Structure formats: structure tokens, C-alpha cells
């Protein structure tokens, strides 16, 4: 079996051959300039992580840190496919007076369960949770349930069993990879099947590893908040190829869809996981962010005479909330619809 390409190399391989998605140089430059203007703000640091995850437990103590790490494991293991069948029928979870939709419904549901005394972040519990119990934890506050309950149950219990085999917590599991981000991603995809986000494109095995990379970036975000963020190889991580950030990249003109693809998406056509067009959207998103990062670092070097420590994960932590904040302006650009456990 031929070895697969890692996400960065996959992105480049796909972008060089893509037929329906194109990386636009002028847009890459524009986004790099936009990020350059923000280079001194908290938006482009690991503390941007906390902004993107306001419902995560505060990792202020050792115990809090352990709890926060298990929380991100539970959330990231089920972090996929929140788009509604109809835009008017969104799953909603209200927590402490705020109503959340999308990915944030999952965060709110897990934090709500913890407050209700359900040990949802304890692997001993969630490795054996029943579908009914998980349905209660993830219950919606309106008529629309969270999609894919059976799949979320399957991946969560599977993940819990893996943690129990490796010391009983996400911290003990991930420590086997030392402090190396690349080794962490490799460990996660090797040991936990639901994180093995791979496909075939033009006869080549490629990978995106969206959730595995987010899990490592979230781990880094928590450790950074504790002052222990000395993780090497963070620059190996790419952006997290989902359905929201590509929309932002098209809006910012760093990506362009062919007229045919744009029409297909506007028609609401479902793309299967592994479909050539779906792979091109995800792969070109990865490569465009790599080029944005390189261009940003060049600007910082040329104009400020400094080295740039912004990695692709930080750019993703900025672009994802950006997409949420500008969703009204972006409404003319369709997201692609793929029901799967990878994103």
C-alpha cells in the first residue's frame, strides 16, 4: 500500500491538479496584508484559541487543565457535520441565556452536561455511554436535533475506549508523542479510527486530518494558557479543512470556484466524502492558507525585520470566527454539503 501524503503535501498536490477550485494569488496577498495589519493583536496568538472556545473549562489549575483537556477530546471527537438540512431548521442549544447554533451547540451541550453533574468528560463514563444518554446530553432546545447521533455515539465510545487503554485521560494518551505536534497527529490517526481523514485523488493517497489537527491545536491552546505551550512542530499543522473556512477563503478571493462547481453548490447538491470536487475544496483551502502564511511571514520579515511565529492553526483560529461574524455578507457564497464524521 502506497504511503499517503500528509495534509500540507496533499494540499499542494491537489492545488496543482485541481479542475474546479483555484488558489488566487492576488487574494492570497490581500489576506496576508489583512493579517499583517492584525499582527500585534491577540487574534493572531494562541489566546485567540480561548476566544474561539469561550465555553471550554478554564485551564487555570492542574485539575482544571486535565478537565479542559478531556473536554476538548470529547468535543473534537464529535466535531463534525453541524450544517442543517434547511437553513431555517437549525439545531439550537441555550446555555446561560445564550442560544448557540452550529459547532457551538456541541460545546454548550457538553458544558451544560458537566453542570448537571453528568461525568461526560470522564473516559470511564463516555466509553460506555448509551445512545439514549448521549441523546440526552446533546438534546436540542428546539424541534431540530443535532445530526448524526448514532455516528457521534460510535466515535465517542470508541475514543473513550482508546483513552482507557492509554492511561485513562487524553493527557496520558497524548503524552506518548512527547511535545511534538506532528507525532501527536500521527498517534491520534494511528490509534483512533474516526480521526483517519484520508482520501484518494488522481491515484494518490492524500490526507486532511482535520479533527486530529484541531485536537492538537486545542491541546496547544490549553497548554499555552497554562504557560506550558512549548510544543515543537506546530508549524507542521495546516488549516483545518472544513466547510466554513473555504467559504471565507472564497469570500476573501484567496480561492475561486469554477462556475460549474458554484452552480452545483448553489443547487444544494450533496457531495460525498471523497468526491473529487469535495477533495479539491478541502485541498485547495489547505494550500491557500499555507501560501497566506508564507506571504505573511515574508511581509513581517521585509517590513519589520522580524521572524513571524504565526502558524496555519492560528490563521484558522482567526478565519473560522471571521466566517461566523460575516455570515450575512457571505450568504451569496454557498458552503459545500458533505455528511461525514471527518468535519
Q: What is the full DSSP assignment across 214-243? A: HHHHHHHHHHHHTT----BTGGG------S
Give the number of other Cβ atoms within 10 Å of residue 293's Cβ. 24
How much is the pLDDT for 8?
98
**What is the pLDDT of the chain when averaged over all its residues?**
94
SS3 296: helix
Q: Which residues are catalytic?
A: 242
**Spans of the chain, pLDDT less than 50:** none
Percent of the chain surpassing pLDDT 90: 84
How much is the pLDDT for 62?
74
Of the candidates 192, 202, 135, the one whose C-alpha atom is nearest the C-alpha of residue 165 is 192
Residues 72-81 as b/e (b if ≥16 CB within 10 A, e otherwise) read bbbbbbbbbb
Read off φ and ψ for residue 241, nearest 5 degrees. Answer: -70, 100
Of the candidates 287, 301, 293, the one whose C-alpha atom is nearest the C-alpha of residue 246 is 287
How much is the pLDDT for 42?
84
* Residue 47: partners with Cβ closer than 8 Å, 6 or more residues away: 224, 225
Separation of alpha carbons 294 and 255, rounded Å: 16
Amino acid at each position: 500500500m502506497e504511503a499517503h501524503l500528509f495534509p500540507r503535501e496533499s494540499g499542494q498536490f491537489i492545488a496543482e491538479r485541481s479542475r474546479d477550485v483555484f488558489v488566487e494569488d492576488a487574494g492570497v496577498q490581500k489576506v496576508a496584508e489583512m493579517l499583517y495589519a492584525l499582527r500585534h493583536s491577540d487574534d493572531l496568538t494562541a489566546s485567540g484559541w480561548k476566544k474561539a472556545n469561550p465555553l471550554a473549562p478554564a485551564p487555570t489549575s492542574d485539575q482544571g487543565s486535565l478537565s479542559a483537556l478531556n473536554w476538548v477530546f470529547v468535543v473534537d471527537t464529535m466535531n463534525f457535520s453541524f450544517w442543517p438540512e434547511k437553513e431555517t431548521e437549525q439545531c439550537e442549544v441555550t446555555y446561560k441565556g445564550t442560544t448557540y447554533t452550529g459547532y457551538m451547540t456541541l460545546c454548550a451541550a457538553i458544558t451544560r452536561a458537566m453542570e448537571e453533574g453528568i461525568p461526560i468528560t470522564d473516559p470511564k463514563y463516555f466509553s460506555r455511554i448509551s445512545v439514549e444518554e448521549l441523546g440526552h446530553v446533546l438534546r436540542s432546545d428546539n424541534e431540530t436535533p443535532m445530526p448524526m447521533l448514532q455516528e457521534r455515539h460510535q466515535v465517542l465510545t470508541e475514543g473513550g475506549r482508546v483513552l482507557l487503554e492509554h492511561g485513562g485521560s487524553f493527557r496520558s494518551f497524548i503524552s506518548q508523542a512527547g511535545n511534538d505536534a506532528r507525532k501527536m497527529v500521527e498517534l491520534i490517526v494511528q490509534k483512533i479510527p474516526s480521526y483517519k481523514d484520508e482520501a484518494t485523488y488522481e491515484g494518490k493517497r492524500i490526507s486532511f486530518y482535520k479533527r486530529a489537527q484541531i485536537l492538537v491545536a486545542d491541546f496547544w491552546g490549553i497548554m499555552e494558557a497554562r504557560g506550558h505551550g512549548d510544543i515543537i512542530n506546530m508549524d507542521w499543522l495546516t488549516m483545518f479543512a472544513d466547510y466554513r473556512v473555504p467559504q471565507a477563503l472564497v469570500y476573501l478571493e484567496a480561492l475561486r470556484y469554477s462556475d460549474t462547481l458554484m452552480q452545483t453548490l448553489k443547487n444544494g447538491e450533496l457531495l460525498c466524502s471523497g468526491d473529487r470536487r469535495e477533495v479539491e475544496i478541502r485541498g485547495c483551502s489547505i494550500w491557500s492558507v499555507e501560501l497566506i502564511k508564507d506571504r505573511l511571514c515574508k511581509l513581517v520579515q521585509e517590513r519589520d525585520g522580524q521572524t513571524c511565529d504565526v502558524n496555519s492553526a492560528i490563521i484558522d483560529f482567526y478565519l473560522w470566527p471571521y466566517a461566523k461574524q460575516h455570515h450575512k455578507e457571505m450568504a451569496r457564497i454557498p458552503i459545500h454539503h458533505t455528511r461525514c464524521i471527518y468535519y
